[in-house]
Chain A
């Protein structure tokens, strides 16, 4: 174990609550690394509702999801947190003692390993993953004929490809893959697309020229043996069904949140939530904290503002693990020159 990152705290999830925890930890001289499965920070605020107005953030009569994330990023900037995006935490292993916790955290994608004194889980509803359509037996084809993302276009050269969906991913891949595949079929539930207009236009002109097919309906069953897809049964709104000949299916139904590996970390989950105390927001494992939508305790409200509060209190206890010898002095940013120095605003 030579190639690992040593830090005070690893925060799992770079949503609003994880970001604000960086601020509270930073005021206490605690360094952190954040890990998020999305390619961007902000969690649900940035992924699900960037444009939606939020009205219950203290001090902001109205702020959009993305606006809040942008402000939080500006707020944590003095503390220089390190972000590891596009990575999912695969394992969390305790290598210390309850009195002096130490953890080894590993991510999946390029296998970064961290060794840290505390872990703060701020994972909201879990990790964002592609939504899988409820089609019988679809798992049998995953990885061989059914893919939820395109990593290498070359994989699909010369294939009969069925793309399902009506958003930007579906339309972009339709237009990009059409020139190299044997035959491309786009399937969508209705004749309206919420993708960039010029991409929709391009798709329509390919259909008009006979260079690809557009079908309206839903996949109701998959045909094929031995994990090799041979066709998809498409059901139209009127109930009629027909077979689309294809050897690859690419469903693009957007993202949803799944708990993922967190379930295996021995945290006594209650209905997919992590129980914590309300003094330190610590889990049953000393040194592992859970804040924001992922935790549960009597009276819990899934509000962003609750997550902010939880992060501030968790930081107090984290300080005792990171600096066991130091007495923690409670200070205000309005009056403490030491805090103001950390924020880079001291006179």
Chain B
């Protein structure tokens, strides 16, 4: 068991209980925060775009070429990741992410 911290687009920080083996997108969606996840986690839409806190970047598996291709379809920062591509494990207890803005 563990948690992730998610800052929403209004700047409010939420601490969510995480479940091992769930994608971070799924955890955020299950707790009812506004994350679209249109394609359902297939790495095909980039609507689960988040910014990962600097200190956590190195602890994640680097993005695949497929994820990079999808990140091309949003306005990124160096901390951009797709949350459907981050599988939560106990090593990610306390992971800190911010929901990226959407275009409207």
User: Which of these, A44, A134, A192, A258, contacts B101 with CB under 8 Å?
Assistant: A134
Which residue of chain B lies nearest to A52 when distances are taken between CB atoms in the complex? B42
Query: B40 to chain A: which residues have CB within 8 Å?
Result: 302
Binds B, one of A125-133, A283-291, A318-326, A334-342: A125-133
* Closest CB in chain A relative to B36 CB, distance in Å: 8
Which of A190, A192, A219, A256 has its CB near the most chain B CB atoms (within 10 A)? Answer: A256
Decide: B72 and A256 in contact? CB cutoff 8 A: no
* Cross-chain contact A49 with B72 (CB below 8 angstroms): no
Q: B72 and A48: CB pair below 8 A?
A: no
Q: How far is the CA of A49 from the CA of B70 in the complex (A)?
A: 12
Interface size class of B (residues with CB under 8 A): 20 to 34
Stretch from B14-22, B73-81, B82-90 forming part of the interface with A: B73-81
Contact B104 A254 (CB under 8 A): no
Q: Which residues of B contact A165 (CB under 8 A)?
A: 72-73
For A131, A133, A188, A258, which residue has the most chain B Cβ atoms within 10 angstroms? A131
Residues of B within 8 Å of A48, CB to CB, are 38-39, 42, 44-45
Please count how many residues in chain A sit with their CB below 8 Å of the partner chain's CB atoms: 28
> With a CB–CB cut-off of 8 A, which chain B residues contact A253?
72-74, 103
A256 B45 Cβ-Cβ under 8 A: yes
A48-B45, A256-B45 are contacts. A134–B39 as well, Cβ < 8 Å? Answer: no
Q: Does B4 contact A (CB under 8 A)?
A: no
| A192 CA / B65 CA spacing, docked (Å) | 10
Across the interface, which residues of A come within 8 angstroms of B68, CB to CB? 190, 192
How far is it, in angstroms, between the C-alpha of A192 and the C-alpha of B72 when the chains are bound? 10
Give min CB distance, A252 to chain B, whole Å: 9
Q: Is the CB–CB distance between B75 and A133 below 8 Å?
A: yes
Interface status of B27 (Cβ within 8 A of chain A): no
> Which of A122-151 touch B at CB < 8 Å?
125, 131-135, 138
Tell me the bound Cα distance from A250 to B69 in angstroms: 19
Given the interface pairs A49-B42, A131-B103, A194-B69, the reply to whether A256 lies near B75 with Cβ below 8 Å is: no
**B74 pairs with A133, CB closer than 8 A:** yes
What are 10 inter-chain pairs, A to B, with CB distance below 8 A?
A44-B39, A48-B42, A134-B100, A135-B75, A165-B73, A166-B72, A218-B77, A253-B73, A254-B73, A302-B40
Closest 10 CB pairs of A and B: A132-B103, A134-B101, A254-B73, A166-B72, A48-B44, A194-B69, A253-B73, A133-B75, A134-B103, A49-B44
Interface residues of A (CB under 8 A from B): 44, 48-49, 52, 125, 131-135, 138, 165-167, 188-190, 192, 194, 218-219, 237, 253-254, 256-258, 302
